[in-house]
Structure 1
């Protein structure tokens, strides 16, 4: 699997020089890191764990999986943020991390309802943590056996993917995007305590091209900013062994990645070295993803409280599940929404281009198109996310 910072580099020569090692390279896989996707469908015999087994599969920034889960009594679950999993350089105000926690809670709620339980979510029972997340709970959840409406999107939970590949030339029609909106939001529950957000899109050629240019500029700004780029590089797992040992962060796997690592063409140091094949390949690959966008969509919120961010996470997950239902490729382009100093002009231009002004906020920018769905992303097992009592 080649994920967010994957490299578009020619690997044929690298494979050739490996000789006998080639068989070893081609045989490696990351099935152990994907095991939580299969485990979710088996269950654990406790509704809280059964629901959490799905919730840990939610999308989240840099795949940091920041959830810390504590079971209390017989029917409660408390979600806190693992503060060791923040992204202080690319996400200084912890906004993106909070969005990921909102996606977790929405998928938790859906999984509970599928088994005939209401998951009553109380966000921030001890107050919203500002300016940074802290040890206070993100949410307390009480599970009650009840006659509840099953969420029609939950059927896509194990098929949901974030597509980090070039999209085909097939256009995305306005009708498909309107159907996407309806599937995601018509009748959606409101548990975050925030005003409803808004989803808008464009397939208009001039606007799509302008957004592509903006995203390329944002991507270059991130890779050119030393501290944010170093943060991403540090979290890159190269090859199956690294991914299986640490199934989070940015995964680069597959025969080409293994070969390039073994021949010294690919390393975290090379990715940090401007002008290197690895650094330039990273730039080229991601620019190709941006340029293949057939349509853009964006999520906005009326304000930017922690509750708004949780709501954005729930909306994000629902959009991703609805896109899966429609066979539509879904990929966030988050760079221009990041809040470190070097990104400020691109952040402001994005909001101006989309007609969003304070206190409203763009919470997510996505490209849409068509491509084959990949295998699931790595995940830490549920047991590793539980707080020991």
Structure 2
């Protein structure tokens, strides 16, 4: 059993599940290579999909790739494989982010726990629609908190005053985009309007922008900006969104990869619990705003993502590149 080769269809299926992960502006900044004889799947960051203005240090690239890595672990466990992960296996090659040995006959810790999450991989969506003004039960919050801890991160649900602070910082980030020439360059590069939305394989298509805010406190950045979007309506958003911060102890590339894995584990658990979710890195893209997002009481950890969770409509599925464009088998 340990000597069994993995066929191309199996590997292709695993990578298809991995690439269902979220990434900043749906840029999908990953590439995979499967080394058949070694049964090792390599994950590499794709520098053709970086965002020089919004993510000059590639923090978001690492988080997106970490989310894809977690989906890969889930898919492998569901397929009866034992994924053994090494982060940064070649110190001289910093964009080689992970090597995943896929052992058909091995055992791995938490394989059942990972496999349990697999139905949520395809169900998870980013929703930029209004949610209900309804609290999330304590047992669900605890489950999500535990999910982040399993991957070496921390999830903090915000109280009312901290929520208002973070919403104000989201507004500050939006205002900077409007008033500073060039700030929206990355966003406009990765949004798909008109006929491009129907044929897109990456980026955020206009049908996923969500409605414009009529009242309440919209959390997501306005992907349209001042550009017209046919048929886009307005809606009232919740008065107090349920927000949470995902943090890691450090702020190095390995921490970002762990943050991405923790983020996806939280999102999949939330999906299984019937929650809709959306993400924002907008106030984290400027160093001065990012410092202000952190909980001033505890003052611990580096905030890697802001999450909005609640009960409401799931967002539409956003496009993905064909697996043949992101996977090499040698």
Establish whether TM, by shorter chain, passes 0.5.
yes
Choose which of 159, 175, 193 in structure 2 pairs with 1:238. 193
**Number of the residue aligned with 2:218:** none
Choose which of 20, 24, 30 in structure 2 pairs with 1:67. 30
Are the structure 2 counterparts of residues 54 and 89 from structure 1 closer, same or farther at C-alpha, using a change threshold of 3 Å? same
Choose which of 307, 311, 321 in structure 2 pairs with 1:380. 321
**Number of the residue aligned with 2:214:** none
**SS of the counterpart of 2:291?**
helix
Give deviations 1:316-359, integer Å, cap 9, x for gaps: 00111011011112111211111xxxx333222213646435xx
Does the 8 Å contact 1:337/1:347 carry over to 2?
yes
Counterparts of residues 97-246 of structure 1 (less than 5 Å):
97-127=61-91, 136-145=95-104, 146-148=106-108, 149-150=111-112, 151=114, 152-182=116-146, 184-185=147-148, 188=150, 196-202=152-158, 204-239=159-194, 241-246=195-200
Counterparts of residues 27-42 of structure 1 (less than 5 Å):
none
Q: C-alpha displacement at 1:293, in angstroms?
A: 4.7
Aligned structure 1 segments of 4 or more residues deviating by more than 6 angstroms? none
**SS of the counterpart of 1:297?**
strand
Root-mean-square deviation (CA, aligned residues, Å) is 3.1
Does the 8 Å contact 2:36/2:329 carry over to 1?
no
For residues 98 and 201 of structure 2, the distance between their equivalents in structure 1, rounded to whole angstroms, comes to 25
Is 1:55 the counterpart of 2:18? The answer is yes
Q: C-alpha displacement at 1:45, in angstroms?
A: 5.1
Q: C-alpha displacement at 1:246, in angstroms?
A: 3.0
For residues 78 and 277 of structure 1, the distance between their equivalents in structure 2, rounded to whole angstroms, comes to 39
TM-score w.r.t. length of structure 1: 0.71
**SS of the counterpart of 2:303?**
strand
**Number of the residue aligned with 2:248:** 301
Does the 8 Å contact 1:298/1:364 carry over to 2?
yes
Q: How many residues align?
A: 306
**SS of the counterpart of 2:68?**
helix
Structure (1/2) with the larger helix percentage = 1
Choose which of 320, 342, 350 in structure 1 pairs with 2:267. 320
For residues 311 and 224 of structure 2, the distance between their equivalents in structure 1, rounded to whole angstroms, comes to 29
User: Gapped runs of 5+ residues in structure 2?
Assistant: 1-6, 212-222
For residues 136 and 160 of structure 2, the distance between their equivalents in structure 1, rounded to whole angstroms, comes to 12
**SS of the counterpart of 1:169?**
coil
Choose which of 282, 287, 291 in structure 2 pairs with 1:344. 287
Which one has a bigger Cα radius of gyration? 1
Q: C-alpha displacement at 1:315, in angstroms?
A: 0.4
Are the structure 2 counterparts of residues 308 and 382 from structure 1 closer, same or farther at C-alpha, using a change threshold of 3 Å? same
Is 1:249 the counterpart of 2:190? The answer is no
Q: C-alpha displacement at 1:214, in angstroms?
A: 2.2
Q: C-alpha displacement at 1:372, in angstroms?
A: 1.3
Are the structure 2 counterparts of residues 277 and 376 from structure 1 closer, same or farther at C-alpha, using a change threshold of 3 Å? closer
Give deviations 1:197-223, integer Å, cap 9, x for gaps: 211112x33332232222222222234
**SS of the counterpart of 1:158?**
helix
TM-score w.r.t. length of structure 2: 0.82
Structure (1/2) with the larger strand percentage = 2
Does the 8 Å contact 2:148/2:155 carry over to 1?
no
For residues 202 and 134 of structure 2, the distance between their equivalents in structure 1, rounded to whole angstroms, comes to 32
